[in-house]
Amino acid sequence: MANLEGRVALVTGAGRGIGRAIALRLARDGADVAVNYRGSEDAAREVVGAIENLGRRAACYQADVGDPAGCDAMLERVIADFGQVSILVNNAGIGSSGIGRPSITEATDEQVQLLLGANLLGPLHLCRALVPHLRQAERSDIVMISSIAAQTMGPRMGVYSITKAGLEALAHTLAKEEREHGVRVNIVAPGLVETDMGRNLISQLPGPDDMRERDAMSPFGYVCQPEDIAAAVAFLVSEDARYITNERITVNGGGF
Ligand code: NAP
């Protein structure tokens, strides 16, 4: 198991879903964790409690990642509370199903702005604001939670795909720019994962909208779990991955 003792991770959207699993996994591996949430305050507090039960420090911070001023205020508080941050996981996001899967021509300006803000401009702002601080540590990591949609470019996924492709461009560029400062930047790209977003997506797709019915159709006989994504993130920020940057790990059971 990776030893992250002495490191502090900021995980966005960590009150539930994949972010929750990442926060808990990094804490299990030894990190203290700043738990960002937008609206799920009770869930975020539960994650903080679970991390504290693991013997690690945790606190939760409300901020909409699409709001730069809110992000700046959050970063200031996190650094004041923990003294440092050396892991940023840009996990918070809104799926295509979150806006009803419009086609490119159907999508409204508001829908485009909403997804761009949460999935791309928010992570871009957080990176720009936090990287000068991350450079101070001997080793820092940024992990972007992208999606296979950044490559599959499916119909009615277009706005989402654009944001995730942009997020990956950000990661690849930043990895090259920040290598000399010890900052590793990598991408984890899930396929369908069993979370609220995943459930919402399959309810809008052809085929069963019950995850257990989807298990048999899935690689290895089950729908990918948030913990499977968290394991890939834990590896990337671990000492074992110290020579890995600018990489993309697809966690999709090998595809369909
Ligand atoms: P989820 O169950 O819908 O949870 C979304 C999380 O993101 C929540 O914690 C939510 O916080 C947070 N969030 C959304 N917009 C936010 C904003 N503007 N500011 C701050 N937090 C915000 O989604 P998930 O499945 O865990 O997805 C996590 C990441 O994995 C996303 O980037 C998603 O695109 C990616 N992904 C998911 C799947 C899948 O099938 N589930 C597949 C590929 C990629 P609150 O609850 O506090 O509002």
160 a catalytic residue: yes
Regarding the beta carbon of 147 and ligand 1, being less than 6 Å apart is answered: yes
What stretches in the chain show pLDDT beneath 70? 1-2, 256
Residues 6 and 33: beta-carbon distance below 8 Å: no
Structure tokens at 130: 């936090």
Which residues have CB under 8 Å from 24's CB, separation 6+? 47, 50, 51, 54, 230
Dist. CA 119 → ligand 1 center (Å): 9
Regarding the beta carbon of 158 and ligand 1, being less than 6 Å apart is answered: no
In this predicted model, what pLDDT tens digit does every residue of 197-221 receive, in sequence order? 999 999 999 999 999 999 999 999 9
Rounded Cα distance, 126 and 116, in Å: 14
Dist. CA 41 → ligand 1 center (Å): 14
Instruction: Domains for the chain: give ranges and CATH numbers.
Output: 8-192+226-251 (3.40.50.720)
Question: Pick the catalytic residue: 37, 61, 160, 243?
Answer: 160
Nearest CA to ligand 1 atom 19: 64
Rounded Cα distance, 78 and 89, in Å: 14
* pTM for this model (two decimals): 0.98
Rounded Cα distance, 204 and 198, in Å: 10
Residues 59 and 81: beta-carbon distance below 8 Å: yes
